[in-house]
Amino acid sequence: MTDIIERYFDRIFPICRSITGNGVRETLKIISEIVPLKIYEIPSHTEVFDWNVPKEWNIKDAYILTPDGRKICDFKKHNLHVVNYSIPVHKKITFEELNQHLHTLPHKPNAIPYVTSYYKENWGFCISYDEYKTLPKEGIYEVFIDSSLEAGSLTYADVILEGERKDEILISTYVCHPSMANNELSGPLVSMFLYQKLAALKNREYTYRFVFIPETIGALVYLKQHGEYLKKHCKAGYVVTCIGDKGIFHYKLSKYGNTLADKAAIHTLKHSRKPFRIIPFFPGGSDERQYCSPAFNLPVGSLMRTPYREYPEYHTSLDNKEFISFKAIQESIEMYFQILLTLECNDKYINLFPYGEPQLGKRGLYVGDLSRDQVMQIMYILQYSDGMNDLIDIAERIKVDIKDLHPLVQLLIEKKLLNNGSN
């Protein structure tokens, strides 16, 4: 599996993506080899709540020629060298003027920073501080950016994986960052192969909605179109980002920290025997802040490895192939899959013999037919299957994995002792 993930990484990583443009389209076309995406175009200037879809940006080339004849900030060598959404420019200028359009990170001297200017027309270049220090202060520089910024559209994609219920689980990731491995590409890669694993299941209780969007404006567009439906049908959701490095798992809670998404993620992490950390919701980060905004309050959290801004490579050229681990990405796919299996197992059940304790022996459900632990677990299931508790609640109460209880629930349904609360 890791070699397949790596091959897709190598194809997608070099593409210059932004919140609009051909880089997004090319990326979604490659993802469509694994996920049967439906791709949509939203015209520039479309009103989206308090926002507007910006003009479409595309770029072919960019560089700076120094007075001593060096070609620097070459877009074709690294696409982070150009401020994302730079307007076209071709002129000769002094260092003093150029310096107003250069971005560096003195505290990370060997890194190219990632800088954007989506909603203010501007241009600029990003350069490592080490290289910046070598630039001559005298003489004339030539700057060249072959880009376009004009009416077009914003591109996004989704796919619906049908289940037995109309109730949905949302999996959202973004496709707008150029050449950043953990902050960008780990999310789409995990989502792609998570979809593949879910699609292979013979039976699914939930319907799954996978969304591939430009961050922020794409989420807003999606909520404008589907937000009211999601308010009725989305039972849990996750924003998939920063999920490819070697750090421990971090789970960012949904807005109030008490949703089904939170319960399932925390329960699964606890029983994974892997180290993890829970972090509270805060109104920054990624698209969970849009999904959890007051008009929607969707039950959306985010499972990450090392969260955004907590690793020094974040939003720089150091967030590259060497920083991530394809083994870690594979483990992340499996962790998300186990969370979704927890959701698949979970439901509220009704004890059909609630007047006292049903006789288990005559149904082959007592010690001798089952282990003592299984019998006690059955008794807990029956005791708390009053429509008030779901199976995660019961599993948490007796400190076992929900996946150990689920076969016993199926046995109790078969013996006509339990009824599925959603039926």
pLDDT of residue 369: 87
- Which CATH entry fits the domain spanning 2-54+153-345: 3.40.47.10, 3.40.630.10, 3.30.470.10, 3.30.70.270? 3.40.630.10
Domain 57-150 has CATH 3.20.20.70: no
pLDDT grade, residue 420 (50/70/90)?
confident
List Cβ<8 Å contacts ≥24 apart for 88-93. 88/123, 88/145, 88/146, 88/147, 88/148, 88/149, 89/123, 89/143, 89/144, 89/145, 90/142, 90/143, 90/144, 90/145, 90/146, 91/142, 91/143, 92/140, 92/141, 92/142, 92/143, 93/140, 93/141, 93/143
Q: Which residues contact 142 (CB under 8 A, 6 or more apart)?
A: 64, 65, 90, 91, 92
Give the model confidence (pLDDT) of 112-146 as tens digits: 999 999 999 999 999 999 999 999 999 999 999 99
DSSP classification of residue 372: H
pLDDT of residue 158: 98
Instruction: Taking residues 258-284, report their average pLDDT.
Output: 97
Q: Which of 144, 193, 173, 175 is nearest to 6 (CA)?
A: 193
309: left (phi over 0), alpha (psi -120 to 50) or beta: left
Q: Which of 290, 316, 320, 285 is nearest to 303 (CA)?
A: 285
pLDDT grade, residue 36 (50/70/90)?
very high
Spatial strand order in the sheet of 71-72: 71-72, 56-65, 140-150, 89-94
Partners of 153 in beta bridges: 43
Instruction: Give the rounded percent of residues in the chain with a pLDDT score beyond 90.
Output: 98
Q: Which two structure tokens, joined as six digits, stand for 226? A: 């589907």
DSSP classification of residue 361: G
Give the model confidence (pLDDT) of 321-380 as tens digits: 999 999 999 999 999 999 999 999 999 999 999 999 999 999 999 998 899 999 999 999
pLDDT of residue 422: 62
Phi, psi dihedrals of residue 72, rounded to the nearest 5°: -125, 170
Direct distance between the N- and C-terminal alpha carbons of the chain, in angstroms, rounded to an integer = 38
pLDDT of residue 120: 96
Is beta strand 276-279 parallel, antiparallel or unpaired with respect to 249-252? parallel
pTM for this structure?
A: 0.96
Domain extents in the chain: 2-54+153-345, 57-150, 348-420
Instruction: Taking residues 156-185, report their average pLDDT.
Output: 97
Average pLDDT, the chain: 97
Instruction: Taking residues 29-46, report their average pLDDT.
Output: 98
pLDDT of residue 421: 66
Give the model confidence (pLDDT) of 387-398 as tens digits: 999 999 999 999
- Which CATH entry fits the domain spanning 348-420: 2.40.40.20, 1.10.10.10, 3.40.50.970, 3.40.630.30? 1.10.10.10
Q: Which of 340, 50, 58 is nearest to 210 (CA)?
A: 340
Instruction: Give the rounded percent of residues in the chain with a pLDDT score beyond 70.
Output: 99
